[in-house]
């Protein structure tokens, strides 16, 4: 096969960030890029900043918090910024920086300050900043495989936020530790900010699919990154598909949806240098597939006989969303959390479930914790009996600061008020505020239905960690003050209560999303939270096709379906690929309850 060098590899910068909506192929393309550069003789470090990274699956290696070699790719090292390990190392560094005369009580206070969820985020950010500020030039290129857009924007905004915060505040303490002892971090943050803002050093590869929502998020990300000073941007459209037979309804619909989305591309993206990567017949797992991803190879197999699995699978009938809604509606209240890897369709599933429950006479609050929420765009209209909201980090932070100042301010003098307000302006306050808003919504499910569309997996796990930290803190505090076992109910206890909370895991019929969902299920089980059901979204197997490329991909889909049905999920429901995207009330109602009304009574 011949290789045509993509635009983003003609003059690669030292630091390259691959970002975009969940599920668009950031990990595949960033990994293929790192392999390509290493194969050309460069020293390359591939870094994952995603708490739910699947680099280990793609490369068949064990990831760690320290750079490690990739067998079969001389010159390529891989590093995973694991939030828990980073937080532990960060706590040790902060304690070690404290003066020798520091008392045990003072150290204990700092440890308590560093025990929250925001410390986990800042610790990851500290590791990230050290890579940008590294002057050793051990690597020619550092490739960042980032978490989905909303969380990535948060990460890339932190150098500016913390640089400004520390410059104006050298007293007090936060989740970074005592401010007066942080001048080393301040210098590092300033260096990281300078590297991010230098277009000769740093570029951002905006990854998208030929889909309206993915392109819209790429446009929003582009504008926000411009405001942060990251101006060197490129657009990569991944998974471009061309049908081989215009009479194949499913294949033609996939192609037409892609072309329509590209025709509606936001103006801000039209000015960027653009590359297109064709849809491949196999998952991008393993070195051969990853190397082939950037090669100028035929997108479709030359010959592909349609196997039995290419026909619509009749065994999947009765496993639709209407059946799931019917099960959930056997209760009259409860929390339904929709979770999964980015890009699998969580928002669509959450909206369809909410509408289905409303149709059965229930009052429903549909909300999202996703920084890149699309609920309003997905629904397209208001519905009686349905409350729609979003946990907006900025709004929640402002409300939280106002609440704390109102509660503590009256007892403080002017200087103490100023010091408290400065401390509350730290970026870590946002994590605390979001958790408090999340806890409030969880409690609402005592009397009605709450359907929660969560952020992509990694960020959701951080929220779960916050619930666990709060749980332990509350129980310890109660027992210290009362001397008796705690009788309070914490958010984590509600999440663990199967009669109160039902977790719906959403995945796609592909190897990587299924592995991600399985890993998330194990993480939840370690927290004593048992998923209720899985939803496999956009199943071509359930829709039926004869297109050679899609038929080739169906073999993999059939394998994933078998894996899920034979042990991974206690219950599974399937959404077929739809020739019309499920956006707007009518399409979502067809998913959630119209089939019930028409014949499942």
Active site residues: 23, 25-28, 50, 512
- Could you give the angle at which helices 183-197 and 117-132 cross, rounded to 10 degrees? 60
Does residue 211 contact residue 538 with C-beta atoms inside 8 Å? no
Integer Cα distance of 434 and 454 in angstroms: 12
How far is 425 from 571, CA to CA, in rounded Å? Answer: 45
Q: How many residues does the chain have?
A: 601
- Torsion on CA atoms 165, 168, 172, 177, rounded to nearest 10: 40
The three-point CA angle 461-462-463 to 5° equals 90
Give CA angle at 338 (464, 206), nearest 5°: 85
Alpha-carbon torsion 254, 22, 153, 402, what sign? positive
Q: How far apart are CA 187 and CA 167, in angstroms?
A: 10
- CA-CA distance, 233 to 222, in Å (whole number)? 8
The DSSP secondary-structure symbol of 139 reads -
- Residue 560 has, within 13 A of its CA and on its CB side, a CA count of 27
Instruction: Work out whether strand 76-80 and strand 572-576 pair parallel, antiparallel, or are unpaired.
Output: unpaired
Tell me which residue of 284, 453, 430, 289 sits closest to 364, measured CA to CA: 453
CB contact at 8 A, 579 and 249:
yes
Q: How far apart are CA 39 and CA 247, in angstroms?
A: 42
Q: Which of 25, 113, 63 is nearest to 426 (CA)?
A: 113
Compute the distance between CA of residue 598 and CA of residue 601 in angstroms, rounded to an integer: 8
What is d(CA 182, CA 176) in angstroms, rounded to the nearest whole number?
8
- On the 0-12 / 13-18 / 19+ scale of CB atoms within 10 A, 482 is exposed
Distance, in Å, from the CA atom of 259 to the CA atom of 255, rounded to the nearest integer, reads 6
Contact 517, 510 (CB under 8 A): no
> To which H or E segment does residue 349 belong?
helix 346-359
| Exposure of 242 in the CB half-sphere (CA atoms within 13 A) | 7
- Residue 576: beta bridge partners? 539
d(CA 46, CA 15): 10
């Amino acid at each position: 096969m011949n290789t045509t060098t993509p635009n983003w590899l003609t003059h690669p910068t030292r630091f390259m960030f691959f970002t975009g909506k969940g599920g668009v192929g950031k990990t595949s393309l960033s990994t293929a890029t790192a392999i390509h550069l290493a194969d050309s003789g460069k020293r390359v470090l591939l870094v994952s900043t995603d708490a739910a990274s699947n680099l280990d699956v793609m490369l068949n290696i064990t990831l760690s918090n320290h750079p490690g070699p990739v067998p079969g790719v001389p010159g390529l090292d891989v590093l995973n910024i694991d939030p828990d390990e980073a937080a532990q190392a960060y706590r040790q560094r902060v304690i070690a920086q404290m003066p020798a005369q520091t008392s045990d009580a003072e150290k204990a206070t700092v440890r308590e300050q560093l025990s929250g969820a925001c410390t986990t985020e800042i610790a990851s950010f500290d590791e990230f900043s050290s890579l940008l500020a590294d002057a050793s030039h051990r690597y020619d290129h550092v490739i960042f495989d980032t978490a989905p857009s909303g969380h990535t924007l948060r990460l890339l905004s932190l150098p500016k936020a913390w640089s400004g915060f520390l410059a104006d505040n050298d007293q007090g303490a936060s989740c970074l530790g005592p401010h007066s002892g942080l001048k080393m971090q301040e210098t590092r943050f300033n260096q990281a900010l300078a590297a991010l803002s230098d277009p000769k050093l740093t570029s951002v590869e905006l990854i998208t699919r030929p889909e309206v929502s993915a392109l819209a998020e790429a446009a929003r990300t582009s504008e926000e990154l411009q405001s942060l000073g990251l101006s060197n941007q490129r657009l990569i459209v991944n998974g471009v598909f061309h049908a081989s037979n215009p009479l194949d309804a499913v294949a033609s619909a996939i192609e037409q949806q892609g072309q329509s989305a590209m025709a509606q591309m936001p103006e801000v993206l039209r000015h960027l240098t653009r590359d297109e990567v064709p849809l491949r017949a196999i998952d991008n797992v393993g070195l051969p597939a990853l190397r082939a991803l950037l090669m100028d190879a035929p997108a479709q197999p030359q010959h592909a006989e349609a196997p039995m699995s290419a026909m619509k699978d009749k065994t999947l009938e009765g496993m639709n969303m209407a059946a799931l809604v019917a099960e959930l509606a056997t209760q009259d209240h409860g929390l339904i959390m929709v979770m999964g890897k980015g890009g699998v369709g969580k928002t669509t599933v959450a909206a369809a479930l909410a509408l289905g429950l409303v149709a059965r006479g229930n009052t429903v609050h549909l909300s999202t914790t996703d920084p890149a929420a699309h609920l309003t765009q997905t629904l397209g209209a208001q519905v009686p009996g349905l409350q729609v909201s979003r946990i907006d980090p900025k709004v929640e932070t402002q409300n939280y600061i106002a609440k704390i100042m109102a509660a503590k301010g009256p007892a403080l003098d002017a200087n103490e008020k100023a010091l408290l307000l400065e401390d509350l302006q730290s970026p870590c306050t946002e994590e605390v505020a979001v958790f408090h808003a999340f806890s409030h919504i969880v409690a609402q499910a005592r009397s009605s239905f709450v359907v929660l569309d969560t952020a992509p997996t990694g960020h959701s796990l951080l929220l779960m960690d916050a619930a666990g930290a709060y749980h332990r803190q509350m129980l310890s505090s109660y027992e210290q003050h009362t001397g008796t076992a705690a009788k309070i109910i914490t958010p984590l206890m509600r999440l663990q209560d199967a009669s109160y909370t039902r977790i719906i895991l959403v995945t796609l019929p592909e190897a990587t999303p299924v592995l991600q969902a399985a890993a998330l299920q194990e993480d939840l089980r370690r927290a004593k939270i048992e998923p209720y059901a899985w939803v496999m979204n956009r199943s071509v197997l359930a829709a039926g096709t004869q297109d050679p490329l899609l038929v080739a991909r169906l073999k993999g889909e059939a394998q994933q379906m078998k894996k899920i049905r034979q042990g991974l999920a206690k219950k599974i429901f399937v959404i077929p690929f739809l020739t019309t995207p499920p956006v707007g009330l009518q399409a979502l109602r067809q998913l959630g309850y119209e089939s019930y009304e028409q014949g499942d009574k």
